[in-house]
Amino acid sequence: MKTHIITIFDKHHLGRAVCLRESLNQHAPNVLARFLCLDQISYDIAKKINLRETTVMKPEDLNDKELLESRSSRTNPEFASTAKPAFLRFMLNSGIVGKGDLLVFIDPDFLFYNSPESLFEKVYKSGSITITPHRFPKHRESEKKTKGIYNAGIVFFKNDEYAKKCLEEWRLQCIEWCYLRFEDGKIGDQGYLSDWPKKYKGVYELEDKEVNLSNWNIENYEITKNNDNFFVDEIPLLCYHFHGLKIYFDSSDRLKAYPITIYHDGIYARYLNELESAYKKIQAVDSLWRFGSVPQLNMLRVIKQKIWRIFP
């Protein structure tokens, strides 16, 4: 079984995509990757970096006229969500993903802390389509309505008839409506996933707490560290989703994060180190690259944000 990883981004998330690819190089060196770049500058830089086992593509390469026509009514983040099922469908129908292969979409703002090989084998054996619940804490259960039961940041597909049927319909749904707002039970590409277990055969819900840990569910668990490894209720952390993280370059040109967007010092510090290395790889091609960063915080705002994190 070969595993294919795909992700979508524009210039503001290229650094994170490179970071994701490098973490997979470390923990899953046999994984094949494809980047869908939404602008010319991210495409050009990604090509020049020449990442291992990584193919770089543009939306036009998907040969999907309806997808391209939808772009004029979407923001870049909305178009990235719209393009997700179209990209997945292309991968399965093009012959790139073989009959015995696994296809995984991962948002670019993920980092792997351990090998995902056993996870890939598990989801491949468990069903045709694998999705991860948000696992909101009890006091946030109401967010299932406005954000969806499942998170679309990581989804798994086997190359079979059930997965293809799901992707055909999901693509049409997203082309018709995919906006980053809650409306009539829909929210971006993500709200559609809530119906999948009842709608399609072969859907598996992945409850593994060490997968897709993020700011919306980390408070459910005890996070510990031992020998440079992080544990989620004594289970080794596999991958963390750094949704909403805001980064900036300080006066020494070091990468920092807004304190208000940090939900665990150790996990986020590791990511910032890896992200800084990714930016250095990009800056070796374009020394002025700062896309994806926000204005530097002054000391007063840093203090205010740290206080807010303690007393929200």
90/86 Cα distance (integer angstroms)? 6
CA distances from 238 to 29, 30, 111, 207 (A): 15, 17, 8, 13
Average pLDDT over residues 11-26: 98
What's the pLDDT at 42? 98
Token pair 């990883």 is found at 5
Average pLDDT over residues 41-58: 96
Q: Which domains does the chain have, with CATH numbers?
A: 3-310 (3.90.550.10)
Token pair 């998170």 is found at 151
Return the structure tokens found at 11: 């210039």
What's the pLDDT at 202? 97
232/264 Cα distance (integer angstroms)? 12
Q: Is 65 exposed, middle or buried (0-12, 13-18, 19+ CB in 10 A)?
A: exposed
CA dihedral sign of residues 10, 16, 19, 24: negative
Helix (H/G/I), strand (E/B), else coil: 26: helix
pLDDT digit string, tens, across residues 181-216? 999 989 999 999 999 999 999 999 999 999 999 999
Which amino acid is present at 237?
Answer: L
Provide the mean pLDDT of the chain: 95
What's the pLDDT at 308? 63
106/57 Cα distance (integer angstroms)? 16
pLDDT digit string, tens, across residues 129-180? 999 999 999 999 999 999 999 999 999 999 999 999 999 999 999 999 999 9
Percent of the chain residues past pLDDT 90, beyond the cut? 93
Which is more confident, 115 or 300? 115
Does the pLDDT at position 48 exceed 60? yes
What are the backbone dihedrals phi and psi of residue 38, each rounded to the nearest 5 degrees, phi first? -90, -5
Does the pLDDT at position 51 exceed 90? yes
What's the pLDDT at 312? 56
Does the pLDDT at position 228 exceed 80? yes
**pLDDT band, very low/low/confident/very high, at 238 (cuts 50, 70, 90):** very high
CA distances from 301 to 63, 268, 298 (A): 47, 19, 6
Does the pLDDT at position 310 exceed 70? no
166/119 Cα distance (integer angstroms)? 22
pLDDT digit string, tens, across residues 89-137? 999 999 999 998 999 999 999 999 999 999 999 999 999 999 999 999 9
**pLDDT band, very low/low/confident/very high, at 296 (cuts 50, 70, 90):** confident
Does the pLDDT at position 54 exceed 90? yes
- The DSSP string of 207-227 is --TTSSEETTTGGGS-EEEET
Report which of 30, 29, 24 is spatially closest to residue 7, judged by C-alpha positions.
24
pLDDT digit string, tens, across residues 22-31? 999 999 999 9
Within 13 Å and on the Cβ side, how many CA atoms surround 214?
22
Average pLDDT over residues 39-58: 96
Does the pLDDT at position 84 exceed 80? yes
What's the pLDDT at 298? 72
pTM, two decimal places:
0.95
CB-CB contact of 3 with 102 (8 Å): yes
Task: Return contacts of 287-295, CB within 8 angstroms, 24+ apart.
Answer: 289/15, 289/45, 290/249, 291/11, 291/12, 291/14, 291/15, 291/41, 292/11, 292/12, 292/13, 292/14, 292/15, 292/16, 292/247, 293/247, 293/248, 293/249, 293/255, 294/246, 294/247, 294/248, 294/258, 295/248
Does the pLDDT at position 297 exceed 90? no
What's the pLDDT at 69? 98
Does the pLDDT at position 309 exceed 70? no
CB-CB contact of 167 with 89 (8 Å): yes
Which is more confident, 311 or 107? 107
Return the structure tokens found at 274: 């890896």
Which amino acid is present at 115?
Answer: S
What's the pLDDT at 294? 94
Average pLDDT over residues 235-251: 97
97/109 Cα distance (integer angstroms)? 23
